[in-house]
Amino acid sequence: MQTRRAFLNRSAAGALGLTALQQLIAKGAIQPPHHAAKAKRVIFLYQAGGPSHLETFDSKPKLAEMHGKPMPESFTKGQQIAQLQGKPLICYGPQLGFKRFGKSGQEMCELFPQMGSIADEICIVRSMWGEQINHDPAHTLMNTGSILTGRPSMGSWVLYGLGSDTEDLPGYVVLMSAGRGGQMQPIAQRQWSAGFLPSKYQGVKLNSVGDPVLYIQTPDGLGAGGQKESIEAIAKLNREAGKTLGDPEIETRIAQYEMAFRMQTSVPGLVDMSKEPASVLDAYGAVPGDGSFASNCLLARRLAERGVRFIQLYHRDWDHHGGVKKNVELKAQEVDKPTAALINDLKQRGMLDDTLVVWGGEFGRTPMSQGGDGRDHHIKGFSYILAGGGIKPGISHGATDELGYAAVEKPVSVHDFHATMLHLLGINHLRMTVKYSGLDARLTNVSGEVVKGILA
Amino acid sequence: MANMRLDLREEAVKPNARGRAPIVPGNPEQSEIVRRIFTTNSMQLMPPASAHKTLTAAQKDTIRRWVAEGAVYEGHWAYEPLRRGAATASIDGFIAAKQHAAGLTMSAEADRATLIRRLALDLTGVPPAPTEVAAFVAGEPYIKVVDRMIASQRYAEKQAMHWLDGVRYADTAGFHGDNPFPAWPYRDYVLRSIHENQPFDQFTREQLAGDLLPGATTAQKTASAYNRINRVSAEGGLQPKEYLAKYAADRVRTTATVWLGSTLGCAECHDHKFDPFTAKDFYSFKAFFADIKETGLVPDRGPKAWGALLDLSSERDRARRAPLAAAVESSKKAVEAKRAASKRDEKALLGAYEKGSLAWTYQVPVAASATKATLKVYNDEPAPGNIGEAVTEPKPGDGLIVASGANPDNETYTITLEPGAGRWLQLGVQAMQDESLLGLRIARGSDRLMVSEIEAELLPERRKLRFSTAASSIRFQAPEQHPMNAIDGNPQTGWGASTYGDAPVTSLALRFETPLATTAQSRIVVRILHDSEFRKATIGRLRLALSKGLAMPVSEQRGAKIQTGLSAAVVAALKKSKGKRNDEDQQTIVAALDWTSPAMEESLTALKRAEAALGAVDATAPRVMISESVKPEVTRILNRGNFMDDSGAIVEPAVPAFLGKVSGTRLDLANWLASRDNPLTARAYVNRQWRLFFGAGLSRVLEDLGSQGEWPTHPELLDWLASEFVESGWDRKHITKLIVMSKTYRQSSTGAASEKDPENRLLAKQNRWRVDAEVVRDIALSVSGLLVERFGGPSVRPYQPEGFLAALNFPKRDYSASRGDDQYRRGLYTFWQRTFLHPSLMTFDAATREECTVNRSASNTPLQALVLLNDPTYVEAARVFAQNAYAGGGSPEARIEWAFQRAVGRAPSARERAVLLDLYKSGLRRFDSDPSAARRFLEAGEAQRLMAPPAELAATMTVTRAILNLHETITRN
């Protein structure tokens, strides 16, 4: 495998190529950081479909008492409602048992024992709340901080602000996995778009099955040697034309081809987990190439090690309009172990302190039943897990009311969450702005406050 | 309303309740704004510290001085009436004047080869043919080339690209399931309008209000699709009121951006902070569109899909259809008559069911094979599967057949059954869902299942078994996928599934023409043919069954008894007392009795045949969503844009108050939009056109000519051009021609901009840029010889990586690339999937058109390199390019020279020749020593192959591929 230097020394005008490459290694716009950063990177374990907080991290004994009784109107009157429009609203008690874990005694569903075993590392935020009750716009809000289409995703903002720590890989990577149960709600590509930021900040989807990155494969029959020769020839020709045309874009293009070639080599190596020790694979429950959430968590750690700034895993699907008990059981089997393994793995490698790990979805689920055994979409209160990267471990923050309906104690909006995330990365959310449409546009839109209570 | 407005003078000089005015003209000391910017009181200082914005001493002084001098307001440039300028004005005159003032001069004209390539790329998006270049270099008059190109269909295609970005034209809904909707005829409308140079004001009227025009023609109604191609959602649980508000807001944003170059959209939740638009203006504008028939949830399947549609069948199509429709009607009557005359024995049916005589007997195949795929029969071991909880996992012994391994586009499965002795009436085929299957979870790919034909043969007699009739369990059966197609002996037709249903099993029941008697030695060989144009639309997991009774094709949720031959819904309905049955129960029972009564078979089969025939014709009938005017909904101002807030005032249709007093219908709006009274439209249009030919608008922020946009570099030129547009009768081609005929346009673009004008706003040279996404494709296809030019028509699908659409659902689906000529169409015609736009287009900054876009960025990323190097479309182009280079004959040097010239429009230099020759020779060495590598490299794509020595051709291909990857190839110089 060629080193970058060796590659460059082979090209005709190596010195020029070097400059362009360094430009490529996007230095962030926030230089120096607004304040000391705790986190260098983010791993977002996005539980798509809307996990029920009531069967995961928010225990509501009062809701159990109220099971089968009508939901008091005082809670629901005037509120947005999804598929339960026009239907009777009946309380549906928690379907799974809760337990306390660790020294911190944090309470969570007993079907998440592995996450329970790291209860002292994590922070449970029980007072999240959102604004959009359908999946597509809710994803948009969680990802971009706005319900309007066309805004940069949080990964793009972070990459824009901090630049990338890797020369061989995109700075913002998205992975997807699908498990059992749920409805596999679609997730649009715009959720990792750079919006009005330059497109180099967009998320790049890494496929865990098949070609890891689109078009990463050299055409069959050409071979790596042939590819390299072609790229070198193209660079020479571009440089030659550059002499007459005087087009500064040419240098950038030459650099992009070099980067593309390096990606072709580094990306397959990245997704090849066969060399990971069996103990590591077992800890995650990952089987190389199976495209599971577990494998993606391990991939996330490898990406983090290689300098990727923002790593977002989507795991589908938690949209449990029916059979919430059975389906959360299934999901627990899929996510409990790998989430804990990832956090432990990061800790062991000394990376947890500067990696912010987030676990959560686009909304929660209603305390009222749907279809007799499910729950509808719910935005007024839901739970998120945060760990590492400057988050205070072993605490819970905020609370919903006694029925788990609304965030009443220390509510955390999506903007508050974004502000806090940026804060941990050394960015003042009010000061990372880009002029757009007459606004000083920012990830947190026009609100958001750093949640000081969860900072270490 | 804001409490203090400084943008309107009469507001700014008004004293407040305490008698203080923001501005007292001539008296800075009394003016609050001056006081506030100079105060030492930090509580009162403006801007406030929290804004992190400060004024310099010079800036403060300027404001003070301005107030002292009378606080003279000038209207914002974009809202002032157009100023035509002198009769002798010209583009070059305006440009030269500013250059002169800055000490700059125009550059020399570009060399002819560069100039014609530039013209071709700008005007048509396709590079000039070598003969064209030669003729022009030899002296053909420039104006002739210009006229020829503007008159071409290619010009319309190029211009259309940009218009479609603005009106956010796409082929899919845009939210959630993002399913295809019928919009392409609107694109045809736009193409024709541009090609025929329809006046822009009429173009405007037809799009906004085509349906309201007296005696509206088909074209005019088609144009009204403009109001329907906003994003729509079919997500269950959405609140209709919310989405109606979203759709309406989208219309306001889009119309205001495209016609008025204004960010009226900002006023959805509050008065505009910078421009004179109020929230009331937003909702008054929205009110013009309140008569458009639509629902918040726009169904994407079933008879009500997509709301108001226009059937665009030609007269000939209608003539073809009429007798088929009549046949369906008369068959229906015959069925009804037969029902009335037959004994409808519900008890017998229920009895047969309960006895088990309707049951399907699952067959465990003794052999199963496919042309290329591997078929495995799961007997004693459980089959792997993942479909959540919905499906009953087959028990060992159920004979599940799973396809794996090679996944060719077309396939035939051959399955041999040994049913044992018996008397069988029907064959059943069941496709089982699995999460691993990309096509609706039942097909191995594509966005549908398509079975062309099912054949059966009895062994050892070798007797072909004929089927008399067929039925399937599919709820939303697409018209062209009728079950009868699987047994009609015609491989062009097929049965399948393409809309999402919720059934984990999809069943087909085929009735033998005569009951089939088998012995212990009998074997039935079933062949399932998948021969359609849809790639990999092949069954992934299936079971075969036979029934001794007239079992129904059944599919069930959640562990029900599929094999019983009657669905639970039928059984439940039968068990209800007659009085308790609803309409659905009735229909279910009628269908069950029909299928299970031998007496009904003949008339029913005739009806099915008629339906299948009609379905085939209906499927090809072009349709388009249109505006249908109904009684307008009440439009209220939504406080803070909150759709749940009904307390806002009701508003009538009106254009923004500061621009005029116009109310009425969409037609009135359209008339005003493209009228002399409205200074914005012409400015917005010519400004966007300017960018197409110079790289940036005269006012650079194309979507915002308001105060947050950019002051035009040449306001008089902009106004002159805008006036030309209006006074020429809104002649679009006239504007194009004016621009490209100018000296300014024809300047050379080489070298760097002057230090005095680093961004070249004064255009002392021409600019250069990487061409648009669609044109990147068009260039590669045209120079390689692959491009198939056909004007208009349905969207097409270039090759795309498998699984790219994996994150979609409702339905889960993959992509089936077009075949034949459709694979090689211009980028403009690419199927525009909003939530997952073709990755090659995305990589080159194409707009997803989820929202109105009037500008695109021009990024330069490694992903682009990966596309040009490795995307099969471009690798195939390199191959065909090489074939044509090779077929042209001559030495490798000659071929290299030809290819280079073809792609970039000039001869290679000695150095460039040398580099390419080296590449060729190196390739030749490699492929000579590895002929199989050469063959594999040459396998790229489906286009016709050339018989030629593989090593030479493959080496040539590396050269043509390098040429297609050159910066210069995809740059407009």
- Residue A107 is inside which H or E element, if any? strand A106-109
Asked if the Cβ–Cβ distance from A189 to B938 is below 8 Å, we say no
Separation between Cα atoms, residue B969 and residue B874, nearest integer Å: 13
CA B544 to chain centre: 39
A32 exposed, middle or buried (CB, 10 Å; 0-12, 13-18, 19+)? exposed
Asked if the Cβ–Cβ distance from A186 to B644 is below 8 Å, we say no
Residues of A in contact with B897 (CB under 8 A): none
Q: Does B229 touch chain A (CB under 8 A)?
A: no
Residues of A in contact with B926 (CB under 8 A): 223, 225-226
Among A residues 289-318, those touching chain B with beta carbons less than 8 Å apart: 314, 316
Q: How many CA atoms lie within 13 A of B89 on its CB side?
A: 18
Asked if the Cβ–Cβ distance from A186 to B839 is below 8 Å, we say no
Separation between Cα atoms, residue A358 and residue A301, nearest integer Å: 14
Residues B878/B961, Cβ–Cβ less than 8 Å: yes
Among A192-206, A361-375, B318-332, the range scoring the smallest mean pLDDT is: A192-206
Asked if the Cβ–Cβ distance from A260 to B862 is below 8 Å, we say yes
Asked if the Cβ–Cβ distance from A222 to B958 is below 8 Å, we say yes
Query: Which of B750, B861, B864 is best to mutate for the A interface (most A CBs within 10 A)?
Result: B861
Of B263, B866, B967, which is closest to A438 when you measure between CB atoms?
B263
Q: Does A252 touch chain B (CB under 8 A)?
A: yes
Residues of B in contact with A200 (CB under 8 A): 859, 861
Q: How many CA atoms lie within 13 A of A38 on its CB side?
A: 19
Q: What integer pLDDT is reported at residue B742 of this predicted model?
A: 98
Give the contacts of B11 (CB within 8 A, at least 6 positions apart).
B4, B5
Q: Does B856 touch chain A (CB under 8 A)?
A: no
Find residue B544's DSSP bridge partners.
B363, B429
Strands A439-441, B367-370: pairing is unpaired
Asked if the Cβ–Cβ distance from B176 to A234 is below 8 Å, we say no
Q: What parts of chain B have a pLDDT lower than 50?
A: 1, 388-392, 558-559
Q: Does A265 touch chain B (CB under 8 A)?
A: no
Q: Does B235 touch chain A (CB under 8 A)?
A: yes
Q: Does B836 touch chain A (CB under 8 A)?
A: yes
Q: What integer pLDDT is reported at residue B561 of this predicted model?
A: 59
Q: Does A217 touch chain B (CB under 8 A)?
A: yes
Residues B392/B560, Cβ–Cβ less than 8 Å: yes
Q: Does B862 touch chain A (CB under 8 A)?
A: yes
| Nearest chain A Cα distance for residue B769, angstroms | 9
Which one-letter amino acid corresponds to residue A264? Q
The 10s digit of each residue's pLDDT in A242-289 is 988 888 889 989 999 999 999 998 888 888 888 899 999 999 999 988
Q: What integer pLDDT is reported at residue A86 of this predicted model?
A: 86
Separation between Cα atoms, residue B609 and residue B331, nearest integer Å: 9
Asked if the Cβ–Cβ distance from A183 to B971 is below 8 Å, we say no
Q: Does B557 touch chain A (CB under 8 A)?
A: no
Confidence tier at A20 by pLDDT (50, 70, 90): very low
Residues of B in contact with A82 (CB under 8 A): 237-239
Query: Which of A143, A222, A379 is best to mutate for the B interface (most B CBs within 10 A)?
Result: A222
Q: Is the pLDDT of residue A21 over 50?
A: no
Mapping DSSP onto H, E and C, the string for B506-545 reads EEEEEEEEEEEEECCCCEEEEEEEECCCCCCCCECEEEEE
- Residue B625 is inside which H or E element, if any? strand B623-625
Confidence tier at A8 by pLDDT (50, 70, 90): very low
pTM given for the model:
0.91
CA A208 to chain centre: 16
CA B573 to chain centre: 43
Residues A130/A353, Cβ–Cβ less than 8 Å: no
Asked if the Cβ–Cβ distance from A150 to B938 is below 8 Å, we say no
Q: Does B839 touch chain A (CB under 8 A)?
A: yes
Residues of A in contact with B870 (CB under 8 A): 215-219
Residues of A in contact with B704 (CB under 8 A): 437-438
Give the contacts of B701 (CB within 8 A, at least 6 positions apart).
B708, B709, B710
Q: Treating both helix axes as pointing N-terminal to C-terminal, what angle do B184-195 and B153-166 enclose, rounded to 10 degrees?
A: 130
**Which comes out higher in pLDDT, residue B649 or A168?**
B649
Q: How many CB pairs under 8 A join A and B?
A: 236
Query: Which of B172, B647, B848, B870 is best to mutate for the A interface (most A CBs within 10 A)?
Result: B870
Q: Does B52 touch chain A (CB under 8 A)?
A: yes
Q: Does A135 touch chain B (CB under 8 A)?
A: yes
Of A185, A199, A231, which is closest to B857 when you measure between CB atoms?
A199
Q: Is the pLDDT of residue A16 over 50?
A: no
Query: CA angle at residue B795 from B789 to B801, to 5 degrees?
Result: 100
Which one-letter amino acid corresponds to residue B188? D
Reported residue count of chain A is 456
| Nearest chain A Cα distance for residue B319, angstroms | 42
Asked if the Cβ–Cβ distance from A133 to B933 is below 8 Å, we say no
Largest Cα span, chain B: 112
Asked if the Cβ–Cβ distance from A238 to B768 is below 8 Å, we say no
Tell me the mean pLDDT in the region A384-413. Answer: 98
Q: Treating both helix axes as pointing N-terminal to C-terminal, what angle do B153-166 and B112-123 enclose, rounded to 10 degrees?
A: 60
Among A residues 15-74, those touching chain B with beta carbons less than 8 Å apart: none
Q: Which residue of B has its CA nearest to A184?
A: B809
Q: Does B907 touch chain A (CB under 8 A)?
A: no
Mapping DSSP onto H, E and C, the string for B810-847 reads CCCCCCCCCCHHHHHCCHHHECCCHHHCCHHHHHCCCC
